[in-house]
Amino acid sequence: MLSLPRVLVTLVAVGSILASACSGGGGILGKEYEYEEELSLYVDGTARMDLSSSLAALVALRGFDLDLNPDVEVDRDKVRAMFAGSGVDVRSVRVSRRDGRSFVHVRIDVSDIRQLSRVAPFSWSSYQFGRRGDVLEYQQVVGQSAGKTVGDVGWNGNELVAFRLHIPSVIAYHNAPCRCVQRGNILEWEQPLVERLKSVPLQVEVNMEPDSILYTTLQLFGVTIVLAALTFGVVIWRVARHGREEVGTGPQTSTRPT
């Protein structure tokens, strides 16, 4: 059975899904990013990666050969092939436009987060994930960008990139700059695009508990249901027993000798 402290920690963690621990909500809402990696990590080391990027940023940061002419339709098959690799499954490739630039949105499933750097778009990062003592430790270092010149694509120097991490369990430690957890147990590391183009390193560190919030919450609910059923059963048994006692001790008819 779960101890009371662990139950309380779990309830607090579930609460963080329902409301942001930061006032104002910060990075996900109200800002527009030129390049974003959003990683949903699971305690078994599998993951889902959602990448959203302008074609210009994908070319400049990762060095891919893509046509940046806004009048040319994006070659989705070519983009899909760029993200293909061992241990990943490309689930979808979507295209959108913003500020006169084409954006791609790619979703992939990852069988082992530690091997993601073998896939070309993510080769600029190193990934470490494993157990250390009582916690799972995740580390990612985003390193060298391609720094490829893309010409005038409408950038004004204020563009941002972001790396987000969806944590599946209670967070024991993290080094996210804002020191807060956003809605849905999300951490964010933000960097100006100009710094990323210059390959200014970005380091992600998170320690988390080895049991997922969902699993622990279901376990807690299961325990609660069992306890409720037992309590209900005891109440029914006592009511039934009390009823039998009343029947057994009911009023007796006395007979007087004549």
Q: Is residue 235 in some structural domain? A: no
> What pLDDT score was predicted for residue 63?
97
**pLDDT value for 245:** 62
Q: How many domains does the chain have?
A: 1
Is position 229 within any domain? Answer: no
**pLDDT of 108 higher than 50:** yes
In a domain, 181, yes or no: yes
The residue type of 158 is: N
Q: How remote is the C-alpha of 257 from its chain's centroid?
A: 87
pLDDT over 70 (residue 177):
yes
What is the torsional sign of CA 92, 191, 171, 115?
positive
User: Which amino acid is it at 51?
Assistant: L
* Residue 221 maps to a domain: no
Q: Is residue 1 part of a domain?
A: no
Determine, yes or no, domain membership for 225: no
* Range 66-81 average pLDDT: 95
For residue 189, the enclosing domain spans 16-212
pLDDT at 19: 38
Residue 243 lies in a domain: no
Kindly state whether residue 7 falls inside one of the protein's structural domains. no
pLDDT in tens, 185-215: 999 999 999 999 999 999 999 999 999 864 4
